[in-house]
Amino acid sequence: MPQPRIDVTVVKDSSDALVAARSALLQVDLIATVVDVSAASDPSGVKTKITLSEITDGPNGGQRGARTLMVMESYQAVCMLIKHAENNERT
């Protein structure tokens, strides 16, 4: 069964140097934290910081790593998207 996902607009990505903002589908169960950073008034339009907990392949097997995404959607919108995705998964 497919995992629930949310669609956000990524402005900054800790694992990729972005030239322009891009749309991304994030798997909900990989989201570790969601933080409202709108008070920082970032000129690129960032409103929310999302940290993903990812399993990466390494020489010693799977290793957990963190990836930080800065997105244009508001904290409230991200939380609503997560809740909606999880509710749709249950039905």
pLDDT reported for residue 79? 97
What is the CB neighbour count within 10 angstroms for residue 69?
23
Q: Strand 48-58 to strand 31-36: parallel, antiparallel, or no bridges (unpaired)? A: antiparallel
The DSSP call for residue 15 is: T
The per-residue pLDDT for range 10-54, each reduced to its tens digit, is 999 998 888 889 999 999 999 999 999 999 988 888 999 999 997
CB 48 within 8 A of CB 74: yes
Query: 69 pLDDT exceeds 90?
Result: yes
